[in-house]
Amino acid sequence: MKTLTISVFTTVLGLGSATAGGLAVGEQNAVSAGTGGAGAARGDDPGAAWHDPAALADGGGWRVGFSLALARPALTAKAMDGSWSADTDSAWSTPPHLDASFARGRWAAGIALGVPFGGGVQWPATWPGAVEAVQTQLMVLRAAPFVAWSFGKLRVSAGLHLDAGRLQIQRNLDFIDTQGDVRLDLSGRGAGVDAAAYWQARRDLSVGLVYRGRTTLDFDGNANFTAPDAFSEKTPDQTARTSMTMPDTLVLGTHYTRGAYAAVLDLEWANWSVNRRTTVSFTNASTPEAVQENGWHDTIAIRAGGEWTRDRLIVRGGGYYDPSPVPAAHLTPSSPDATRLGLTAGASYRIAPTWSADVFAERMWLLRRETTSTDTMAATYGGTAIVLGAGVRWTPHP
């Protein structure tokens, strides 16, 4: 019975870290992704519907953009004593993004649809950490409508976002003389508020400030157990509940142009410390409720890049540094979160007076970290990821 209780409890530990900073998606459209994800002060781009909706209150009419990214991480876990190593088996994921807006006179309105949080890990079914994690997947879809108004050089916007998430977890259970498993499939919804400001300080310099409020997702769904008959009363198939909070974020961005060249810079603060603890409850009173103290901390990410324009062609490059909010004491196989360092490149080509095609490529390094937790196996985690993407935009101006 003690072994069973520990197994159920450590299943919940995977839930507690499943929304770590490594699952925040920085590639929101093919334009900004080419400059390290920076775009909070970029005007006249349909992607401003996500990055800074206030910028769109310029009377520019309709703007529509669609992007698709193909991402594949490759993670490796290594025993600290060198006795084993294991690689994840991750498939390509394809988070989409759509921006649409309309501006007339002093006002604008629109919507951004995307995936601000998503990803996961798939370890081999028989790897040394299978009793801690085999699969963890999280996907959060967001719809963010907004309205904006211009006061001349200063423009402001307000809106809300509606999130729908799905969380899936699979891991083995150790009953000493036999193996079992548990599979959780939970879904949840939540809402938050957004606000932004855009200041056209000079013809060649703009500044953006964007706030996205926190969202609490209340998850519920099925918990399916495979266990020996002796434990069937304690592990029946049942429903489970938990909640997770997606953090507040505040982004300060600048955009500077000089002739054919432009530079962008974003500083992004994420309030990950809102996740102080995670509690999971089961409908069966015999299955213990579990509580995990997370101990996450806030982070500041830096994203920057540059552009060069010649006739119909725009060439981009950039990079970013995005630190992990998860302390080493809570680093686990279910979410081997790491500080992310990335280099990006991209390009756009105007294929018609109002149509443009965009592409980007990204190389990400997940800096290797060593867990200091006494509740998990002694290991280090790190790896790389490749992200490729493309998009199309329709704007009323060349």
237 φ/ψ angles, rounded to the nearest 5 degrees:
-60, 135
* Residue-wise pLDDT tens digits, 191-234: 999 999 999 999 999 999 999 999 999 999 998 888 777 777 77
Q: Can you list the alpha helix ranges (DSSP code H) found in 24-146? A: 30-33, 48-51
Domain ranges of the chain: 2-394
Of residues 290 and 35, the one with the higher pLDDT is 35
Backbone angles phi, psi at 40, to 5 degrees: -70, -15
- Could you tell me the pLDDT band of residue 14, with boundaries at 50, 70 and 90? very low
3-class SS of residue 229: helix
Q: Share the mean pLDDT of the chain.
A: 86
- How far apart are the C-alpha atoms of 212 and 110, rounded to whole Å? 16
84, 136, 184, 86: CA torsion to nearest 10: -10
User: Looking at residues 15-28, what average pLDDT do you find?
Assistant: 61
Cβ-in-10-Å burial (0-12, 13-18, 19+) of 325 comes to buried
The three-point CA angle 343-346-352 to 5° equals 170
Note the pLDDT tens digit of each residue in 306-357: 999 999 999 999 999 999 888 888 777 766 788 999 999 999 999 999 999 9
Q: What are phi and psi of 372, to 5 degrees?
A: -115, 10
Q: Would you say residue 397 has pLDDT above 80?
A: no
Higher-confidence residue of 41 and 132: namely: 41
Q: Are 347 and 304 in contact (CB under 8 A)?
A: no
The mean pLDDT of 362-391, rounded to a whole number, is 88
pLDDT at 398: 52
Lowest mean pLDDT among 23-27, 62-66, 222-226: 23-27
Q: Sorting pLDDT into bands at 50, 70 and 90, what band is 12? A: very low
Closest C-alpha among 180, 172, 286 to residue 229: 180
CATH architecture of the domain with residue range 2-394: Beta Barrel (2.40)
Q: What pLDDT sits at residue 229?
A: 72
Question: Average pLDDT of 51-65?
Answer: 95
The token pair that represents 62 in the structure block: 């309709």
- Whether 109 and 99 have beta carbons less than 8 Å apart is answered as no
In 3D space, the residue among 108, 96, 111 whose CA is nearest the CA of residue 50 turns out to be 111
Distance CA(341)–CA(362), nearest Å, equals: 10
d(CA 391, CA 342): 20
- What is the DSSP secondary structure assignment for residue 332, as one 8-state letter? B
- Which amino acid, residue 322? D
Per-residue pLDDT band at 168 (split at 50, 70, 90)? confident
Query: For the chain, percent helix, then strand, then coil, each to nearest 5?
Result: 10, 60, 30
Residue 62, pLDDT above cutoff 80: yes
Is pLDDT above 50 for 4? no
* Confidence at 27, pLDDT banded by 50, 70, 90: confident
Q: Above 70 in pLDDT, residue 105? A: yes
> What's the pLDDT score for residue 20?
42
CA distance 13 to 7: 10
Question: What is the number of other CB atoms lying within 10 angstroms of the CB of residue 126?
Answer: 10
